[in-house]
Amino acid sequence: MITVINATNRKDNKTQVISRYYLSLLELKGIAVKYFPLELLPSSMLDDHYGNNPPELKRLIEEFIEPAKKFVIISPEYNGSFPGILKLLIDTVHPDYFKYKKAALVGVASGRAGNLRGLDHLTSILNHLQVDVMAQKSYVSSLMKLINEGEVTDEATKIVIEKQMERFLSF
């Protein structure tokens, strides 16, 4: 099973457009996939629950993290890195739930670099957790020019995403 993680909890975020495109590609291929937008995380995440997760967080971990063999993490750029809510989730989940799994990373930004630095930061953290991160990453730059009415409309972007997913399925 693959979990597609939309790595922000910001309401009405544009990253979800890219995340849902990845989700739809995998579903069309008949892959067992789940969509985990971090908007689902309980507000109690900000409380100190390290090692003692509340029931609603345990349920999300059991549904989206523990059974996944692979992750597709779509991360917007927040201040030159990835969202703190994703780091908080990673820090809250027991490292064994990540160990020996695989991940494809996608950076999303309204600027020109497509969250290049943020994906480097995230790669380092995932490697520390013994997650194999696929070398081919996708960097979605100038996001607002690539989507329209909640859909990916840029053909070149669709091709890059499709190629990344083809490789990820055999990774």
The DSSP string of 91-140 is HHS-GGGTTT-EEEEEEE-SSSSTTHHHHHHHHHHHHHTT-EE-S--EEE
Print the domain residue range for 105.
Answer: 2-170
* CATH (domain of 102): 3.40.50.360
**Total of domains in the chain:** 1
Of the candidates 167, 166, 142, the one whose C-alpha atom is nearest the C-alpha of residue 154 is 142
Q: Dump pLDDT digits (tens) for 5-57.
A: 999 999 889 899 999 999 999 999 999 999 999 999 988 777 665 667 778 88
Of the candidates 37, 33, 34, the one whose C-alpha atom is nearest the C-alpha of residue 17 is 37
Quick one: CA dihedral 25, 28, 29, 35, positive or negative? Answer: positive
Give the pLDDT score at 20. Answer: 94
Among 36-45, 47-56, 100-109, 130-139, where is mean pLDDT lowest?
A: 47-56
